[in-house]
Amino acid sequence: MSQDPKFQLYKSSIDNQFYFRLKAKNGEIILSGEGYTTKQNAQLGIESVKKNALIDVHYELKDKLSNYTFNLKAANGEIIGRSENYTTAAARQTGMASVKKNASDAAVEDLD
């Protein structure tokens, strides 16, 4: 079932921090945000992802024993989103392309 890409904003019952995740059209989580102490800061994190998603140099690639991931960083070098784990570098590239394609226009769904 296809749906529009979206950011989901939610509060963790474990640590009471606010998090976001970016879901692609297929419903898969393609990027997860760091924990924020306030909802407003998490919303700023989403805006930062939207702003930085198309900038190739803001992606940091990680390779470790058949575990390929990437981090998306803001201009100041802070990590603003982490990818899921991929089994191949090619799958990771597809995940990055999906973030680039979907982040800027994705709506925000507030689950809190």
Q: Is the pLDDT of residue 83 over 90?
A: yes
- The answer to whether position 12 is within a domain reads yes
Q: Residue 32: give its domain's CATH number.
A: 2.30.29.80
**pLDDT tier, 2 (very low <50, low <70, confident <90, very high otherwise):** low
- The answer to whether position 22 is within a domain reads yes
Total count of domains within the chain = 1
Residue range 20-44, pLDDT digits in tens: 999 999 999 999 999 999 999 999 9
Q: What is the domain range of residue 60?
A: 6-110
Q: Which residues contact 75 (CB under 8 A, 6 or more apart)?
A: 52, 58
- The answer to whether position 15 is within a domain reads yes
- The answer to whether position 1 is within a domain reads no
Phi, psi (deg, nearest 5) at residue 88: -135, 160
Answering whether pTM is above 0.75, one says yes
